[in-house]
Structure 1
């Protein structure tokens, strides 16, 4: 098994606010360069009971599926942005009360032998979490 990519950040908001900022507001802090067509990127749509997609005008590009939606502290999704759906990995994000607000811990796992090179493309979660933190702070 290949080690997961792990990133953490503490944000100065409640667990629920951190969860909403990460999920419902993802399109507001997501880097458009990490979408199928940065020039037309307008947001991200997440169905708590279904798909995760980049929105480009009237088009949606599905790159995930929600597995767990718990506003009290836990979000998990299948993730295949930049690789085939049948090779989906897993994003597991936990939101825990901390003295300064909420600790957000993201674990990107599900890497299998032969995906080491692909995994390297997803080692920048810390930078995305910085964008997220700026958004919710």
Structure 2
């Protein structure tokens, strides 16, 4: 098993600023509810550019699973990330939005895996599918 970063990329047919908005402000519209703490009650995702990333569920129940550390609407989002693993050992989600012709290349890198977290890392096989959902949403 590996501790290498998990990398996923996709090109979307919108400008980088719109790609960033689609990824952040509209994340709850394309996120797979099955990847939330309580799929049947999932309603959206809330991202504070200066703080927490949370899934929002019925009755305004919130589950915090990340914290924004870099918020640059011109092309870069970084967060400490612990969805599916211990908050005491967060990983790092780094998403870059790069102008590519008539669209934007979105590169997601999930890194920061600690020794002993190989089995946790092996479960993160969903980024390509999530980026495809995102691409469908912003297209």
Check if 1:39 corresponds to 2:40.
yes
The residue correspondences of 1:87-102 to structure 2 (distance < 5 A) are 87-102=89-104
Match of 1:50 in 2: 51
Who is 2:7 aligned against?
A: 6
Cross-structure match for 2:63: 61
- Cα offset for 1:74? 0.1
Match of 2:107?
A: 105
Is the Cα contact below 8 Å between 1:10 and 1:100 reproduced in 2? no
Map of 2:130 onto structure 1: 128
Q: Between Structure 1 and Structure 2, how many residues are aligned?
A: 137
On the 8 A contact 1:37/1:56 being kept in 2, the answer is yes
What SS does the corresponding residue of 1:36 show, helix, strand or coil? coil
Unaligned runs of 5+ in 1: none
CA distance in 2, matches of 1:2, 1:121: 12
1:100 deviates by 3.7
- What is the rounded CA distance, in whole Å, between the counterparts of 2:34 and 2:16 in structure 1? 28
Counting only pairs closer than 5 Å after superposition, residues 75-90 of structure 1 correspond to structure 2 as: 75-90=77-92
Distance, in Å, in 1 between the alignment partners of 2:66 and 2:75 is 19
Q: Distance in 2 between matches of 1:34 and 1:2?
A: 21
Query: Which ranges of 4 or more aligned residues in structure 1 deviate by more than 6 Å?
Result: none
Q: Which ranges in structure 2 are unaligned for 5 or more consecutive residues?
A: none
Alignment RMSD: 1.0
- How far did residue 99 of structure 1 move? 1.6
Displacement of 1:82: 1.1
How far apart in 2 are the matches of 1:123 and 1:4?
A: 12
Single out whichever of 110-119 and 32-41 deviates more from structure 2.
Answer: 110-119
TM-score by length of 2: 0.96
